[in-house]
Amino acid sequence: MTGKIRKGVRATILDVAARAGVSIKTVSRVFNAEPNVREETRDRVIAAAQEIDYHPNVAARGLAGKRSFLIGMVHGNPSPYYVADLNAGVLDRLRGEPYRLLVLPFESADAMSGKVLAMARSSGLDGLILSPPLGDDSATIAELTAAGFPFVRIAPSSATWLTPEVRMDDVAAAQDITEYLIGLGHRRIAIIRGDPSHPSCTARLIGYRKAMRRAGLEIDPMLVEEGLYTFDSGMMAARRLLASRTRPSAIFASNDDMAAGALFAANEMGVRVPDKLSLAGFDDNPIASIVWPRLTTISQPTIDMARAATDALLALLDGDESVGRVTMPYRLVVRGSTAPPG
Amino acid sequence: MTGKIRKGVRATILDVAARAGVSIKTVSRVFNAEPNVREETRDRVIAAAQEIDYHPNVAARGLAGKRSFLIGMVHGNPSPYYVADLNAGVLDRLRGEPYRLLVLPFESADAMSGKVLAMARSSGLDGLILSPPLGDDSATIAELTAAGFPFVRIAPSSATWLTPEVRMDDVAAAQDITEYLIGLGHRRIAIIRGDPSHPSCTARLIGYRKAMRRAGLEIDPMLVEEGLYTFDSGMMAARRLLASRTRPSAIFASNDDMAAGALFAANEMGVRVPDKLSLAGFDDNPIASIVWPRLTTISQPTIDMARAATDALLALLDGDESVGRVTMPYRLVVRGSTAPPG
DNA sequence: TTGTAGGCGTTATCAC
DNA sequence: GTGATAACGCCTACAA
């Protein structure tokens, strides 16, 4: 006789079945929301399960059903806020689903390249969410695609691969914010580029160029500075820009961390923002609202994007073949760091 | 005949065994680093495994061995930097280990209370790392302890429970930084408290009081403001402090986020830091170095603590009974936000 | 040092 | 609608 609560030992599907007076297959049906179970039977099973505190054994499920209910996310982004938002979005979408989120260690895109599939396999993942910059690593995409491994990319910039992705129009957004600066009356507008291994870096530069060209403004090569999406790189780039004889009246930093770094540099050098220098960022992460003055920036719907990516991945895992590209809206947020040139 | 590479199908231990000309038990021994395998045999097995790209099936391993090699971390902290550091520390320690890190969704300590064990069970976790404030939730500790579920707490403040933990001396650190302010010549030193549901809040208050008392300074109740460890709460608390007739000459905010908020408020109100107001934080997260001026703060070794906690958990899972309390060192970091009273 | 048998708790197949 | 029974891939015990 099974079905009683043996203390210290987890209840199994057999216990539930015995207690509810059904076969284990019926219990399985109930827990997997399969059809063909009479309502009354279902209720009895659920009651029995609750009484003995039954939780399906994930390992057994994974072994028999050939899925682990594990989704992986590779974090290779320098901004903890971005990562936190990604996490939040994924977990939010996963609520109520049987899937769980695994965080994979990340060294660098280079180091990971060509090893992602092996990691996914050895961790027993069902699917993967790739955030920048790994979502643009061609070796990774190639091996995953070749193996038929389900994955969704967040904010990739290359349209080369026709794999499911959730993106934002970085070019248009960068163009918008640059045009906003132009509209304020700025003419000498510098850009601090991001990490060149993140393709969003290129997209944002293109948007900037488009805006400048449309306004008939020349792009002085001196106005294009290199950065790495980090606070320090933004600070150093701004120091160079502000030290030059042909100092810009406005700087568009390709993300908020770098914009905060630029603001720091301006403070150091006694350049008042926004009186003497307008500063715009990109992302609208909390940093943008922490510094003084607050940053004008592009609000990127990171949480929504992560949610949408998870949604797409779940559909993929469900066998849905129609998952394609989703583009999410952005928003220009005007705050205190920008003003007409002084 | 097994042992050949069937494409699209993952190799199993049988394939490796056949290819290496040994039994599956020997392959198992090799992959679990068990003794009693001749070196030559081991090499043959490893070679065979590599040739057919064999990765042990985690689910099967978990089912047979009764462990999932899954460690869970519950994130309920408002500071993404703190969370990112925790993650980094755990993942760093896990490198080379067969264990993987699962991120559990978190709503609030209240909502989670009494549900953590169920989540751990249904996710099939082997062990849990509890970060603040959940590490101080007595219902959670009680149920985990009662069930004999392995867990380690990071930075808990209540010493009530004799469970494995990695901590820092918050009281001494808060006392140190307050004494530093006193040493600069400040007399009216305010404190902005953190979220009262995080016991570190109380510890830091105690440290502040100790320092004030030792210096013979009276603690005006007006100088103790409430906060929630968030930027906004720090900003609002500082507004109240700075608006009062008896404005303090220095503020000790119980974490960097609130200190950054206080700095923002000071900027808003035209109070120059550090000339007219000294400001100290706690944690030394990147925010402390992003704002202008940079914050004097206590450097908390979050990554090291997470690493140590993981280390302790792995020992626990390994059957080590001697895991107890580990106390990590902190450091006072003096930067531009503090100066003698002006 | 190596191998054999049995079982871990599910899901899938097919019969009823 | 429901149920027997065979996988699933590995580990633990025990043998050799």
Q: Report the pLDDT value the prediction gives residue A37, as an integer from 0 to 100.
A: 87
pLDDT in tens, B17-72: 999 999 999 999 999 888 888 999 999 999 999 999 899 999 999 999 888 999 99
Q: What would the mean pLDDT of B299-319 be, rounded to a whole number?
A: 93
Question: Rounded to whole angstroms, how far apart are CA atoms B329 and A331?
Answer: 44
pTM: 0.88
Rg, Å, chain A Cα set: 26
Distances (CA, A) of B69 to A217, B123, B202, B317: 59, 11, 36, 10
Nucleotide nearest to A23 (CA to C1'): D3
Question: Is a pLDDT exceeding 80 seen at residue A109?
Answer: no
Q: What would the mean pLDDT of A140-155 be, rounded to a whole number?
A: 91
Q: In 10 A of CB B299, how many CB atoms? A: 16
> Going by DSSP bridges, is the β-strand pair B127-130/B151-154 parallel, antiparallel, or unpaired?
parallel
Best CA proximity match to B310, nearest among A105, A157, A229: A105
CB half-sphere exposure, A339, CA atoms < 13 A: 12
Strands in chain B per DSSP E: 70-74, 100-104, 127-130, 151-154, 165-168, 189-192, 224-225, 250-253, 278-280, 297-299, 325-328, 331-333
The alpha-carbon gap from A249 to the nearest alpha carbon of chain B, in Å, equals: 21
Best CA proximity match to B53, nearest among B20, B5, B17, B96: B5
Cβ pair B231:A123 closer than 8 A:
no
What burial letters (b/e) apply to B176-196, b meaning 16+ CB within 10 Å?
Answer: bbbbbbbebebebbbbbbbbe
User: In terms of residues, how long is chain B?
Assistant: 342
Protein residue with the closest CA to the C1' atom of nucleotide C5: B25
Q: Report the pLDDT value the prediction gives residue A160, as an integer from 0 to 100.
A: 61
Q: How confident is the model at residue B160 (pLDDT cuts 50, 70, 90)?
A: low
Best CA proximity match to A157, nearest among A72, A254, A257, A284: A254
- Percent of chain B whose pLDDT exceeds 70: 96
Q: What would the mean pLDDT of B166-174 be, rounded to a whole number?
A: 94
Distances (CA, A) of A151 to A43, A115, A327, B123: 37, 15, 17, 22
Best CA proximity match to B231, nearest among B261, B263, B269: B261
Which residues in chain B touch residue A103, judged by CB atoms under 8 angstroms apart? 87, 91, 101-103
Asked whether residue B302's C-beta has any atom of DNA/RNA strand D within 7 A, the reply is no
Highest mean pLDDT among A150-159, A295-304, B1-10, B105-114: A295-304
- For residue A309, the one-letter residue type is A
Q: How confident is the model at residue B97 (pLDDT cuts 50, 70, 90)?
A: confident
CB half-sphere exposure, B72, CA atoms < 13 A: 27
Please name the member of B84, B94, B260 whose beta carbon is closest to the beta carbon of A80.
B84
Q: How far is C-alpha A186 from the geometric centre of its chain's CA atoms? A: 33
The alpha-carbon gap from B99 to the nearest alpha carbon of chain A, in Å, equals: 9
Best CA proximity match to B201, nearest among B176, B223, B180, B227: B227
User: In terms of residues, how long is chain A?
Assistant: 342
Nucleotide nearest to B55 (CA to C1'): D9
Protein residue with the closest CA to the C1' atom of nucleotide C9: A60
Per the DSSP assignment, residues forming a β-bridge with B73 are: B103, B129
Question: Is a pLDDT exceeding 50 seen at residue B73?
Answer: yes
Q: Strand C footprint at Cβ < 7 Å?
A: A 10, 12-14, 24-25, 28, 31-32, 54-57, 60-61, 63-66; B 21-26, 29, 35-38, 41, 60, 63-64
Mutation for A interface: B100, B229, B256, most A CBs within 10 A: B100
For residues B89 and B302, the answer to whether their CB atoms sit within 8 Å is yes
The alpha-carbon gap from B314 to the nearest alpha carbon of chain A, in Å, equals: 18
First vs last C-alpha separation in chain A: 86
Q: How confident is the model at residue B76 (pLDDT cuts 50, 70, 90)?
A: confident
Which residues in chain B touch residue A148, judged by CB atoms under 8 angstroms apart? 8
Question: Is a pLDDT exceeding 90 seen at residue B330?
Answer: yes
Q: In 10 A of CB B220, how many CB atoms? A: 14
Cβ pair A260:B10 closer than 8 A:
no
Question: Is a pLDDT exceeding 80 seen at residue B157?
Answer: no
> Phi and psi of A168, rounded to 5°?
-135, 155
Please name the member of A60, A101, A292 whose beta carbon is closest to the beta carbon of B102.
A101
The DSSP output letter for A275 is T
pLDDT in tens, A153-209: 998 876 666 889 999 999 999 999 999 999 999 999 999 999 988 878 999 999 999
Query: Which residues, in sequence order, are CB contacts of A197 under 8 Å at separation 6+?
Result: A109, A133
Q: Report the pLDDT value the prediction gives residue A8, as an integer from 0 to 100.
A: 59
Please name the member of A55, A83, A289 whose beta carbon is closest to the beta carbon of B121.
A55
Query: Which residues, in sequence order, are CB contacts of B210 under 8 Å at separation 6+?
Result: B171, B175, B178
